[in-house]
Amino acid sequence: MTAKGAAQCSANPVDRSTASHEILWQGKLVSAQMTLVERETQLRAWFVRDCDPVRQAIDGLDIGWGGVQRWATARMPSLAGGLHLDLACGYATFLAQLGWRYPEARLVGLNIDFQGPHALARPLLAEAGVRAPLVQADARRLPFADGTFDSASCFLGLQDVEIGYGEAGVRETVHEAVRVLRTEGVLVLLDEFSLDRFAAQLDGLPVAWIDRAERALDVRWGCEIAQRAATLYAEGWAAQTRPQDEASRRTACRDALARIEAEVEAQIAGQGYYVPFGPVRMAVIRKLGSGQALRMLQRAGVDRGPNHDSG
């Protein structure tokens, strides 16, 4: 689902991180000293170039997600020169961040479609100066052999799978992500789900936790932007349910709008502004070999999930 960035929003925290290479950016080589924040700013300007000011604020959040994408790529294990899969990549904004942070990584993006709004994925990567082939496929049925990838990620894609296919679809997606990892490969899941919920989805899989964390979006929206965003998000939610007919779509949209408007009203009444998503929680796990997994299963009473006070 899309959601985005901020007029009446506080400034993103300064991130002086730089990539250690030169890239072809807008037709010219760009210095390695160009910060990730500067790249986000330029890419955001391109992304919202045809929007009115309110829509610029909303759509702009897709680029960077209020600092969360930079935080995530900095905290996750290095991709080095490995082969990395980004599942349910949508507009490919997280792929762009991965390419900026880890220019030596070999990236692949996968999404259920690259039509409609997601047709922007390829031009966005070109504008970002990041090379990554895009594969159109269902994340619940990955078209890759076991052990293909050194690492994988999913940034806010599981919630879209849940809207369309329920909890069973989310669990299938997580299982498939683990299947296509090599032994010792790393999976990074980022979503609004609680850490306990991530643990439940990973239960029974041959994995061990490496890291767990959460981050709030650095976004503060006033009423005008929040109310417009509520309508846009409700429409996006309805589309993700894959309705069979127009009546079903309208019903899904109406129900989603009522939920979102209630949340907008509660946040603005309680804190004076609206934060559209979050906090975003990160679960980082490592795939175990068969012997390691067997030993883990034999260790009765060992908690393989997050601390219960973390979610």
**Which one is predicted more confidently, 244 or 281?**
281
Mean pLDDT across the stretch 124-150? 97
pLDDT the model gives residue 30: 52
Mean pLDDT across the stretch 235-247? 85
SS3 93: helix
279 cis-preceded (ω within 30 degrees of 0): yes
Superfamily of domain 23-218+277-298: Vaccinia Virus protein VP39 (3.40.50.150)
pLDDT tens per residue across span 20-33: 455 454 455 555 44
CA dist., res. 129 & res. 185, Å (int): 26
- What's the per-residue H, E or C state across 197-227? HHHHHHCCCCEEEEEEEEECCCCCECHHHHH
pLDDT the model gives residue 117: 87
Mean pLDDT across the stretch 121-140? 97
**Sequence ranges of the domains in the chain:** 23-218+277-298, 223-271
- The DSSP secondary-structure symbol of 105 reads S
CA dist., res. 15 & res. 35, Å (int): 7
Q: How confident is the model at residue 60 (pLDDT cuts 50, 70, 90)?
A: very high
Tokens at residue 228, please? 């417009």
- Angstrom CA distances, 110 to 54, 155, 261, 283, stand at 30, 12, 32, 20
pLDDT the model gives residue 290: 73
pLDDT the model gives residue 236: 85
Burial class (CB in 10 A: 0-12, 13-18, 19+), 180: buried
- Output the pTM of the full model: 0.82
- Residue-averaged pLDDT of the chain: 86
Tokens at residue 37, please? 């924040």
Q: What b/e string do you get for 112-125 counting C-beta neighbours within 10 Å, with b at 16 or more? A: bebeeebebbeebb
